Structure 1
Amino acid sequence: MAGIYIHIPFCKQACYYCDFHFSTSLKYKNEVLKGIEKELVLRKNEIGSTKIETIYFGGGTPSLLSLSELNSIFEVIYKNFSVVASAEITLEANPDDLSSEKIKELAKSPVNRLSIGIQSFFDDDLKFMNRAHNASESKKCLEEALKYFDNITIDLIYGVPNMTSEKWKSNLQQAFDFGVPHISSYALTVEEKTALHNFIKKGKVPGVDEGVALEHFNMLVQETEKKGFVQYEISNFGKPNYFSKHNTSYWLGKPYLGVGPSAHSFNGTQRAWNISNNIKYVNALKENKLPLEIESLSENEQFNELVMTGLRTIWGVDLLKVKEHFDTSYFTYLSENSKSFIEQGLLEINAENCLVTTKKGKFLADGIASDLFKV
């Protein structure tokens, strides 16, 4: 099984914290969409006869697309790929795009899962982030979306300056009250070359407090667990049967095809990434050229990838898989270097013989993984 990721590089306005590839000008939207359709056709043989079990529209803001634009892309996908009948098909959406009419249209399309960028239920937080929607729109769109979609996930951001623990707990409670079965939640991070980075550098806004972020994270873990959510990945919490199949395939190392400007692909031993420039992307495809670069992963890089993704999930790093897929020195290396983290109570080996992070170690998972990398 494999997945298809489609990057829609357009937004109404720029969120201050975002460093993904996007444009706030829709001038070349039609050309980019035609480019995406052409790239799908040109790359159909990369997947071969492997069936597609997930399709994910990310961005950017995919909910900017009309139903006819989405259906045009679906037509190309279903014509050129073998898609399973039960495929999970996700569309990222912003609350300000999800009018009652839009939701009804999407419910008639192949889309069966919505990923809604709520971020916060408080207007001051949304203004701080420069989101295009307000809290009222968040609540209204969720009420409407839940009438037509069973499988909905929302994004929430914690560690925002001036966000108290009471406020963060209220954000979580409002998500629980709506009954959404999945929450993706991330600490606010300050990426270089973003507006937020510039504001903090100039002293216009306070920086991110890691202590507050940790407090919010611990609260997130505790409160979601009380409500029956499973933290199956560091930032993802789902009720049983509502885990993201698409994102899970990334963490389990399944192949996926990334289409659109800046999209990444993976086939197990190679990574590819498309150019992060809409015009150059369009022009290359007009000449039947693929606007991408390919990198073959070394054995060290494949090992590091397995460790990084594994420690972020409940499934952990399968030690038998390390033995089977790598030279014996890798298993010895991992066993020796993980001992200190096991002694500190940050890692453990579970009943399935997998190396997993403990509750204490979850917030530190990325740092622990990097310490276990083979370089």
Structure 2
Amino acid sequence: MSGIYIHIPFCKQACHYCDFHFSTTMGKKEAMVLALQTELALRKEEFETEVVETIYFGGGTPSVLDLDEIEAIIATVYQNYKVSENPEITLEANPDDLIFTDSERSSGTNIFSAYRNLGINRLSIGIQSFFEEDLKFMNRAHNAIEAENCLQEATKHFDNISIDLIYGVPGMTNERWERNIEKALSFDLPHISSYALTVEPKTALANFIKKGSVAPLDDEAAQSHYDILTTKLAKAGYVCYEISNFGKPDYFSKNNTAYWQGKKYIGIGPSAHSYDGKNRAWNVRNNAKYMKAIAEGQLPMEIETLSKTDRYNEYIMTGLRTIWGVSLLRVENDFGKNRLEYLLQQARKYLEQDLLHIQDDVLLVTRNGKFLTDGIAADLFMVNLDTETSSA
């Protein structure tokens, strides 16, 4: 499986917590779409022998694109790449972009049917919260009514829908968080992604906390929210197949699963990342520089060749976050006996604390360890073991 990620670097407004690359100025949107199409064509040889099984529009806010712009990008993929018969095509969308008029509703010509006609078969909707106070705190572009209304309509037209929810928001009680989850469950959605609010450098949230206008985030509250989340979703039949992702059977994100399992993907657009199994590359995080380079027929990217230790560390991080865990046999075969011995030595204390366990020669986090996964993984990393490249 191979995938194509397309970064749409535009948003109506900046969320206070977000550090993704985007612009709130839409004046260059048409030129950016042309640049994205050009980059797709320039890089087709990278996937000459690959079959694309997932196309993912991320951002930013892809739902700010006009229908003809989305259609043009999808057509460019099909013109330049081998695409599977039924690829997963996901569009990230905000609720305020999915509201339509009564006349559109009665005529059946609405945004959802239009998306389906373009080949989009999966929506990822940025709900974040069903409560107005949370949405205002985050500076989201939609309100609580739009959050519910868009899902009421979306579920009539799409079977494969995911929503995002954020926990650990200052002032969010356990009761309000439970009500958020229950509201999500009332729509019978097949997939939910849920993330703890984090403070990223240079964001408005970081500035608010620094000035004292917002209290520092409460890790204990976030862990309590996560425990509530995993318990309620498990009872509702969702599988926590990655620390922050919960899906009903047959509804795991194929795009994201491919990332976690180390499959190849191409990232198109400013700031987008790519991976071919040995090298990681990323485009310049600047719209103007990106478009200028592409117009000149150049790829504005940096490339890093991963050493064996780099690849080991990435496998530990991604593996522990998923239900597939870390295969001890793969560690030994792909990265060497010394790394396996190091892994088992570092893991011993977490095994004793019931934060990790080994089942069928696979290292997995326990329920008690899930919220701590990133910290545990970091402690299992190897640092400066070697200077060899990925060919070693």
Normalising to structure 2: TM-score of the pair? 0.94
2:169 maps to amino acid: V
Q: 1:319 aligned to 2:325?
A: no
Match 1:156 to one of 161, 165, 168 = 165
Q: What does residue range 124-135 of structure 1 map to in structure 2 within 5 Å?
A: 124-135=133-144
Could you say which residue in structure 1 is the equivalent of 2:113?
104
Q: 1:137 aligned to 2:146?
A: yes
Q: Report the 3-state secondary structure (helix = DSSP H, G, I; strand = E; otherwise coil) of the residue aligned with 2:186.
A: helix
How far apart, CA to CA, are the structure 2 residues paired with 1:48 and 1:103? 33
Q: What does residue range 238-253 of structure 1 map to in structure 2 within 5 Å?
A: 238-253=247-262
| Residues 141-174 of structure 1, C-alpha deviations (whole Å, 9 max, x = no match) | 1011111100000000000001110000000000
> 1:327: Cα distance to partner?
2.1
Runs of 4+ in 1 over 4 A off after TM superposition: none
How far apart, CA to CA, are the structure 2 residues paired with 1:28 and 1:305? 36
Q: 1:58 aligned to 2:58?
A: yes
Percent of pairs with identical residues: 58
Normalising to structure 1: TM-score of the pair? 0.99
2:172 maps to amino acid: M
> 1:68: Cα distance to partner?
0.6
Q: 1:357 aligned to 2:365?
A: yes
Could you say which residue in structure 2 is the equivalent of 1:178?
187
| Residues 166-200 of structure 1, C-alpha deviations (whole Å, 9 max, x = no match) | 00000000000011110000000011100010011
Q: Report the 3-state secondary structure (helix = DSSP H, G, I; strand = E; otherwise coil) of the residue aligned with 1:83.
A: strand
Q: 1:277 aligned to 2:286?
A: yes
Could you say which residue in structure 2 is the equivalent of 1:372?
380
Match 2:344 to one of 328, 332, 335 = 335
How far apart, CA to CA, are the structure 1 residues paired with 2:28 and 2:187? 37
Could you say which residue in structure 2 is the equivalent of 1:13?
13
1:129 maps to amino acid: M
1:170 maps to amino acid: R
| Residues 318-375 of structure 1, C-alpha deviations (whole Å, 9 max, x = no match) | 1111121122211111122111111110111112x21010001111100000000011
> 1:104: Cα distance to partner?
2.3
How far apart, CA to CA, are the structure 2 residues paired with 1:206 and 1:333? 40
| Residues 119-158 of structure 1, C-alpha deviations (whole Å, 9 max, x = no match) | 0000110000000000100111101111110000000000
Could you say which residue in structure 2 is the equivalent of 1:94?
94
1:127 maps to amino acid: K
1:368 maps to amino acid: I
| Unpaired segments ≥5 residues, structure 1 | none
> 1:66: Cα distance to partner?
1.1
How far apart, CA to CA, are the structure 2 residues paired with 1:5 and 1:223? 31
How far apart, CA to CA, are the structure 2 residues paired with 1:342 and 1:301? 24
Could you say which residue in structure 1 is the equivalent of 2:387?
none
> 1:99: Cα distance to partner?
2.3
2:76 maps to amino acid: V
How far apart, CA to CA, are the structure 1 residues paired with 2:46 and 2:113? 34
Give the alignment's Cα RMSD to 1 decimal.
0.7
How far apart, CA to CA, are the structure 1 residues paired with 2:171 and 2:113? 37
How far apart, CA to CA, are the structure 1 residues paired with 2:211 and 2:352? 43
Match 2:126 to one of 111, 117, 121 = 117
How far apart, CA to CA, are the structure 2 residues paired with 1:175 and 1:268? 37
How far apart, CA to CA, are the structure 2 residues paired with 1:327 and 1:86? 38
Could you say which residue in structure 1 is the equivalent of 2:389?
none
1:334 maps to amino acid: L
> 1:239: Cα distance to partner?
0.5
> 1:85: Cα distance to partner?
1.3
1:274 maps to amino acid: N
How far apart, CA to CA, are the structure 1 residues paired with 2:237 and 2:65? 34
Contact residue 96 and residue 146 of structure 2 kept, 8 A: yes
